[in-house]
Amino acid sequence: MPLTSTDDIVGPAYAGTYGVGAFNVVQIEHAEAIVAGAELAGLPVILQISENTAHYHGSLAPIGLASLALARAASVPVAVHLDHAESVELVREAAGLGFGSVMFDASKLPYDANVTVTRAITEQCHRADVWVEAELGEIGGKDGAHAPGVRTDPDEARSFATATAVDALAVAVGSSHAMLTRDAVLDFDLITRLRDSLDVPLVLHGSSGVDDTDLAKAVTAGMTKVNISTHLNKIFTRTLRDRLRTEPAVADPRTYLGPARDAVAAEVARLLGVLAVR
CATH number at residue 243: 3.20.20.70
Spatial neighbors of 54 by CB under 8 A, at least 6 apart, are 60, 63, 64, 90
* Structural domain containing residue 214: 6-275
d(CA 90, CA 92): 5
Q: Is residue 85 part of a domain?
A: yes
Q: Is residue 26 part of a domain?
A: yes
Q: Is residue 44 part of a domain?
A: yes
b (16+ CB within 10 A) / e for 21-52:
bbbbbbbbbbbbbbbbbbbbbebbbbbbbbbe
Q: Is residue 36 part of a domain?
A: yes
Q: 205 pLDDT band (50/70/90 cuts)?
A: confident
Q: Which of 83, 167, 187, 214 is catalytic?
A: 83
Q: What is the pTM of this model?
A: 0.92
Q: Is residue 151 part of a domain?
A: yes
- Does residue 139 surpass a pLDDT of 80? no
- Does residue 198 surpass a pLDDT of 80? yes
Q: Is 83 a known active-site residue? A: yes
Q: Is residue 95 part of a domain?
A: yes
DSSP state of 138: P
Spatial neighbors of 25 by CB under 8 A, at least 6 apart, are 31, 34, 47, 48, 49, 53, 63, 67
Query: How confident is the model over 62-82, as pLDDT tens digits?
Result: 999 999 999 999 999 999 999
Strands (E), 172-262: 202-204, 223-228
Spatial neighbors of 174 by CB under 8 A, at least 6 apart, are 148, 151, 184, 185, 186, 187, 190
Domain count, the chain: 1
Beta-ladder partners of 78:
45
Q: Is residue 1 part of a domain?
A: no
Q: Is residue 238 part of a domain?
A: yes
